[in-house]
Structure formats: C-alpha cells, structure tokens
Structure 1
Amino acid sequence: MIQSVSFTNKAVAISAHLHLPDDFQADKKYPALVGIHPAGGVKEQTIGLYARRLAAHGFVVLVYDSSYQGASGGEPRLLEDPATRVEDARCAADYLTTLPYVADDRMGVYGVCAGGGYALAVAQTERRFKAVAGVSATPMGEAARSMFGQPVSQDDLIRTLEAAAAQRTAQARGGEPVYVPFVPERLEDIDANTPTMLREGYDYYRTPRGQHPNSKGRFLMTSLDKMFAFTTFHLLPTLLTQPLLLIAGSDADTRIFSEQAYALASGPKDLFIIDGATHMALYDTPGYVDQAVARLVAFFGKL
C-alpha cells in the first residue's frame, strides 16, 4: 500500500510516498521509518525499493523527494544543500507524528548513499529518531572534500571553491546556471580510469535499470560551497548515541565511509559488510538487497 502524501519544509512543498504494511489497520500503532534518497535520486528509486520491503515487515515508511529536487518544490532547482536535506528529514518526522497510527516513540531513520550520510547527520540532533541506519552510507561533506576517503589537496579544494564563487557572481549578473553530474551522463564519458561507483552509477541512473524522469543525477554547481562546509563526522562521537547500523559492500568504493563512521560512533553500533557487493549493488541487486533488508528489519525491529 503506497499513498501519495505531502508535507512542507518551511515554504517548500515536499512530495512523498507513504508505504503501509499489507495488513494495515488504522486503529493500530506502528513503528515508523523515514527514508532518505541518494544525491541525485528520487523516492521512486532505491529508497522506495527499501521502503516497500520494510513496509512488508510491518513498518510505516515515509520517503520523499528532497527540497529543490524531484517532484518537490523549491528554487533554485537541483540545489544540493546538506542543511536543508537534514531539515527535510526533521519535517518528515513532524509529518509522521501527525498520523494517529504511528507510534512516535518508535521512529527511526535510514538512507542510501548520501541519504545514509544525511541519516547519520540528522540523528545526531533529532532525538525523535531512536535508531539510525545507512546503506552504502556516504557523508556529503566528507565525500565532497575527498576522493572516496582519500584526501584532496588544499589547493584543489580552494580552486573548486573559487570556481563556485565565480559561478555565483556570473549568475548574480544574469548568467545561466551550471550543473555538475553526480555520475557520468554518457557512456563515452567512462574509461578505464573511471571508479567502479561512477561506472555503476551510469548503469543505474542513466539506463532503464533505475532511471526515472524526475531523477536528473545532477546538482547546481553553486551547491559546492554548502557541500564543502558540511560535516557529518565532527559531532558524531558525542551526539549520536542512538543505535547505529551501517551496511556496506565488501567491494564498495565507499566502504571506507562506513568504517570511519563505525570507528567514530560511541553508542551501540553494528557494521555489516556484505561479501562481494559494490556500492551500487546494494541499490537493487536482489541477493544483496535481501541481506541488507533482513539486517534492517532485525535492527529496526528493536524500536
């Protein structure tokens, strides 16, 4: 059972799907989860796949398109603003608390890829989330400032910020916006040096496997200053005290982020490595998703 619903983040209308258990009864109380989609993604893709699977195990699950993206409102379009992404998740929790069949003392949050990073970020200061999980979790700030966990030079970071600043000036003077792809946009953009995650990203987002008309797979270049300034890890050791589950593929380029988060977390924590899986395999590959869902069900079943 999937219902199309909406809520707001300040003045921005958020388009959402509410996934209900098959045997849903309005007079019962259910544990509820907020699901956060990857950067460049939308609610109909991998986050919705996980929502359907989790709802089948008795959870009410709310997934949505983030502000400025997908079917949600907000200008400028395709802005990737981590602070707003975190607030979207808070507003999703607000919405769930208005539903009479949601046990608001049994709410959790999960996310895939950047959504997993945002799930870790919001749970640090949103105490209504009693448990948090990340699948192929990728913290946006840390990822923007590194190459799959490997440091990027200060000079390169400054050059990127200078370019973003110049683009802001150009747009302030009436210039056209510039967009940056999260994954290759054309097959010919891929060569032997393309990282596995980006190679698989093309296969997921740019082919019938996972593409969706609302998922542009790009972000506004002037998002970069906000992405660089954001951090998930800084306060994680002190503020993330809720139970934490991290799920990563053994062969994922982004596995390092789950390992780093696990090392930093001081509360109850579990790092589940799925043998043979890559980052993108956890999006929709049946055998790997089956393992991830089983672990999520057991984890959130303790809410």
Structure 2
Amino acid sequence: MMELTQDWDKTFPKSDKVDHSKVTFTNRYGITLAGDLYAPKGDGPFAAIAISGPFGAVKEQSSGFHAQTLAERGFVTLAFDPSFTGESGGSPRNVASPDINTEDFSAAVDYLGLLASVDRERIGILGICGFGGMGLNAAAVDKRVKAVAVTTMYDISRMMAKGYFDSNTPEQRAETLEALGQQRWVDAENGAPAYGPVSLELQGGEPQFVVEYAGYYKSEERGFHPRSVNSNASWTLTTPLSFMNMPLLTYIDEISPRPSLFVHGDKAHSLYFSETAYAAAAEPKELFIVEDANHTDLYDQVDKIPFDKFTSFFTENL
C-alpha cells in the first residue's frame, strides 16, 4: 500500500473554498500514481481537468497551484505526480518517457471519469511546461479529452532531439547518441542507472533562463520542494534516450475538432515551442500571449497566470 504524505506540504497556501484529498490511481502499465484531488463544494456533476507539470516538478508545486485555483472556479481537478517521480510509483526513480508520461494523463482521465461528482463527457487536460507536450500528445490519442490547454509549453522530445532552438548539428546528435549508448554499458555493468549532479546548482555563467529556473525551484519563498527532481535531485543520465526519436507532437492536428489553447509569456525563451505547435495544430485553436512574462512566471506568479482565460476556455469547451 502506497504511503502518502497527509500533511499540507504544498508550496502554496491551502484554500478553504474547496475540498482536498490525496488519491492514487494506476496507469495502463501498472504503475500507481499519486495525486491531489481538488473539488468544489457541492455534489456536481462537475467538469474536470487533469493537470501535471512542469517537467521535473511535483504536484505540490505549480500543477497543484493551478489545480486548486481552478477548483475554486468550479472544476474538479486532479494534479498528479508522473510515473517515476514524486510520490508516484515506478522504478528506477527520476526517469521520464514520452509514452508512459503521456499515458499518465489518460490514467488521470480514467480516475476522474469514474468519480460520481464528475461528468465524464466533460474532462479536459492542462499541461504545464514539459507536460504541456505530454498533454497535447495525450489529447491527440485520447478522444475522451474534450479540450486541452497548455501553458509555458515545452516539447521535450524536440528539445532533446534537436537542442534549444533546433541548434544541434547532425554530428552533435550522433555524438549525443554515442555518449548515451556508452552510458548504457556503464549502467548495465552497475545494474542501476547513473544520475547527474543535483539539478540547478548554479556555478555562475548560466543562461538567463537557467537562472530563472533556479529562482523558482531553489527558492523556499517560491517553489522549492524536497521531492522535486529540479529542486533536490536529478534525472537518470539516459533519460533523453526515448525522447531522441519519439516526437511528441506528430499527430497534434488530430486534436481537432476539439479545441486547444496555448498560453505563453512573451519574454519566455521557450515561446517558440508554443508558436510552432500552434501553427501545426488544427482549428479550433488559440495562442494567448502573456505580456512581460518569462517561462517560470507562469508557474506561480498570480499577476501573470491568466486564470480568467483558463476558466473561460474550459467553461466554454467542457
């Protein structure tokens, strides 16, 4: 039996306007996931939203903040830890998969749709950062998802396969794959995966967006959480492998005729991910740009996160 923390250990204050409970559910691969269920007061049936991200975060951080706020606005929401991370199951720890993490969203839809308080014909997805890409992939393959919104979205497969701004040359890609193959020999010999240094321990000279990440994940005042990969741990060194040749957004146009919303900050280094995904998506779709917002502002900054936009989008489409 999975033992879940029952104390309120979120990076945001608890709301007395909604009901909160810790829940577990199992994905198609038999991995038990842990989530925080937020529900409006009353019997429903309500529309529901499955929420996860950012990549390397836990449900006590940005996804939980979005979930609680949207529950205050009338939706049943489920913020969950993806497989292999946080309080969710899966071994080894702190590895990611374009397939399994896409499935995690559909498993969350399974859970929500079996609740008596939820109308299973009115379930949507909200994906944050790297789980924006997973959420779009889940919506494309899972027709039960009636609307999908992503915020400060990353296409992790594109970033790992091609580098930031698609800057990797074929030679650099080949070198990366060669290094990953050699690391597999090391891991096989050791019988366990190797991990990199603790994430976001700044040494000086990092790009501004890395400094911004550290400003969220390493700050006790903002987003630090001991179970977060980006706050307190690191990914396995071979985590990029499956992302290198399994593009997440190949079938993004198949989300249509269900609507998609792309929210991004105009100052975000990652804006190009949403711009190109939006261009590849089919109508109905919308690209909503938040002025004077960088990538991590949309994790937790109340004055920047467009909750009114999310509320109207899901109200109209669920």
Alpha-carbon spacing, 1:181–1:103, altered in 2? closer, same or farther (3 Å): farther
Distance 1:82 1:124 in 2: 13
- Give % identity: 33
Q: CA deviation at 1:96?
A: 0.9
**What TM-score results when the alignment is normalised by the length of structure 2?**
0.89
Q: Provide the residue aligned with 1:299 in structure 2.
A: 313
SS in 1 for 2:238: helix
Q: Is the Cα contact below 8 Å between 1:36 and 1:118 reproduced in 2? A: no
Deviations 1:8-31 (A, max 9, x none): 12321111100111xx223x2000
Alpha-carbon spacing, 1:104–1:176, altered in 2? closer, same or farther (3 Å): closer
Q: Is the Cα contact below 8 Å between 2:161 and 2:244 reproduced in 1? A: yes
Distance 2:254 2:117 in 1: 33
- Structure 2 matches for 1:99-248, cutoff 5 A? 99-174=115-190, 177-180=193-196, 184=200, 186-188=201-203, 190-191=204-205, 194-208=206-220, 209-217=222-230, 218-248=234-264
Unaligned runs of 5+ in 2: 1-18
Q: CA deviation at 1:264?
A: 0.7
Distance 2:283 2:196 in 1: 37
Q: Provide the residue aligned with 1:69 in structure 2.
A: 85
Unaligned runs of 5+ in 1: none
Q: Are 2:275 and 1:259 equivalent residues in the alignment?
A: yes
**What one-letter code is carried by the residue in structure 1 that aligns with 2:138?**
V
SS in 2 for 1:203: helix
Q: Is the Cα contact below 8 Å between 2:212 and 2:296 reproduced in 1? A: yes
**What one-letter code is carried by the residue in structure 1 that aligns with 2:24?**
S
Distance 2:114 2:188 in 1: 40
Q: Provide the residue aligned with 1:277 in structure 2.
A: 293
**What one-letter code is carried by the residue in structure 1 that aligns with 2:99?**
A
**What one-letter code is carried by the residue in structure 2 that aligns with 1:15?**
A
Q: Provide the residue aligned with 2:11 in structure 1.
A: none
SS in 2 for 1:286: coil
Aligned-residue Cα RMSD (Å) equals 1.5
Which one of the candidate residues 12, 19, 43 is aligned to 2:59? Answer: 43
Q: Is the Cα contact below 8 Å between 1:123 and 1:240 reproduced in 2? A: no
Distance 1:39 1:17 in 2: 17
**What TM-score results when the alignment is normalised by the length of structure 1?**
0.93
**What one-letter code is carried by the residue in structure 2 that aligns with 1:5?**
V
Q: Provide the residue aligned with 1:4 in structure 2.
A: 22
Distance 1:250 1:148 in 2: 17
Query: Paired residues, what number?
Result: 294
Deviations 1:23-61 (A, max 9, x none): x223x2000000011111000100111111100100000
Q: CA deviation at 1:147?
A: 3.5
Which one of the candidate residues 42, 45, 51 is aligned to 1:25? Answer: 42
Q: CA deviation at 1:165?
A: 1.2
Q: CA deviation at 1:146?
A: 3.1
